[in-house]
Chain A
Amino acid sequence: MSIRLVTLSGLLILSAALIATLFIRNHPAEYYDRTEFLMGTYLTVVVSSENVSPVKLAAAAFQEIRRVEYKYAKDYGTEVMKLNSAEVGELVPVDDETAHIIETALAVARITDGGFDFTLGRVMDLWGFNKADTEKGVPDDDQLKEALRSTGYEYVRLVDEGGWFVKKLRDLTIDLSAIAKGYAVDSAISVIRALDGDATGYVDAGGDIGIIGPKYGKLPWTIGVRHPRSERADEVFDVVYLYDGAIATSGDYENYFIEDGMHYHHIIDPSTGYPAVSGAISATIVSSSVMLADAFATAAVVLGKSPGITFFPRNGALVMMILEDLSIFKSEGFEVYQTR
């Protein structure tokens, strides 16, 4: 065989190989994304499907999120208004969905010994943390103590297998907006899966993320945990890989104000009415649903590295906490999610 022929064949094989890598590298699935501002945060749906238009899937997801918002929003949620206008001891009928959300909220409150409490609405109002566009400030201590007296998840009960809601404290108000945000994401993912069980992607609600399906159907999603003390929004402290399930992070850096040189953040300790001082500045939870991950993340910042945190894994919530000195505390097994 002549040198010429060898050279030419070599070049042909090389080009064929290079072009072949194009097809291997360019995955067939293209991701469609859409962001909207709902439920007091931004929501991004990133989705791909080979069977249904991803535009249609995202639209269905947002429709479901809006439905949940109108039912459980703090100020105008139809279901929340109904529950908060109930008299002490009055049995208020609730549907299965509301019962499920309240049951979950009560369960997390009990597991975390009140670290997560959905009856703090009046306290949050005094701090101004309930809405993004309200002025924030340290409330009067007497007012705070007064508001704190009308809080406590233990004054809320579901009776007759969850069909009825009853409260045992006159001024108690419930705020399901935080837990409903997680629920809305989980529910939107269910809607997408019902339309196409093979759809992949994720839904991100302000950093609380639920996975629809693995990236390109086979790879984990690479999720960066935000550095709690960085001056850059895109600086990542650690990385978590998820094929499915959910992840959420709470931290003292997300929403805060400074008054007289003091830093006041939005994660209120239900036992004191003041911002939590637990030593944890950020808590990331990996769980089966965004609703659970989000509620446990809030509780973890309140509890810090206290013994209570050891109950999280047996309830399906693995935690990674960043402490004040930027050291890390992880539940046993968390590292499973940190290798590809």
Chain B
Amino acid sequence: MKFFRFSDLFIILLVVLALVLTLPTTRAGGSVVHVIQDGLLVRTLDLWVDARVEIGEIMVIQVEKGAVRALVTDCPDQVCVRMGWISSPGIPIICVPNRIMIVIPREKDSEIDVITG
């Protein structure tokens, strides 16, 4: 009796499939950032490609080493610029006057669901 038979391949495949399905495949921190204006997705940027991106003539967004911030905005209160960098999914930078939300979308449950303050 041979120890390994051709039909055993199915069982091995099943094990491999189970491993692939269950191993964590995504980082909790996503790899893209969404820029949403008035509820519409206006830009999707790669978090790992350093760039400065202009949104209309109202905002410049800076992406650097997996983090993103509002670098310049034309509104008087500058709240979004002062908020600084984000690199955690689900915690947005908000510009109320320009109705812009910059957010790294959640890919799975993250440590913090929502932020107060």
Contact = CB atoms under 8 A, between A and B. Distances in A.
A221 B77 contact: no
Interface residues of B, number: 43
Majority-rule SS of B interface residues: mixed
B93 to A, nearest CB: 6
Contact of B77 (A136, A215, A225, A228): A136
A305 B19 CA distance: 54
Contacts of B116: 207-209, 223-226, 240, 247-249, 284
Contacts of A46: 114
Given A12-B11, A224-B112, A224-B116, A4 B3 contact: yes
Contacts of B38: 37
A19 B117 CA distance: 40
Contacts of B3: 3-4
B31 interface: no
Contact of B112 (A34, A40, A223, A249): A223
A284 B12 CA distance: 54
Interface string A231-275: 111101001100000011101011101000000000000000000
Contact of A135 (B14, B39, B76, B97): B76
A132 B8 contact: no
A194 interface: no
A37 B96 contact: yes
Interface in A130-164: 132-136
Given A8-B11, A35-B36, A133-B76, A40 B96 contact: yes
A21 interface: yes
Contact of B18 (A19, A41, A209, A284): A19
B60 interface: no
A25 B8 CA distance: 29
Interface string B69-103: 10000011101001111111001111011010100
A85 interface: no
A204 interface: yes
Interface string A170-209: 0000000000000000000000000000000010101111
Contacts of A204: 114
Given A15-B14, A132-B76, 7 more contacts: A3-B3, A14-B18, A19-B18, A136-B76, A222-B114, A224-B114, A233-B69
Interface of B: 1, 3, 8, 11-12, 14-15, 17-19, 21-22, 36, 38-39, 67, 69, 75-77, 79, 82-88, 91-94, 96-97, 99, 101, 111-117
5 contacts: A35-B36, A132-B76, A208-B116, A233-B86, A255-B77
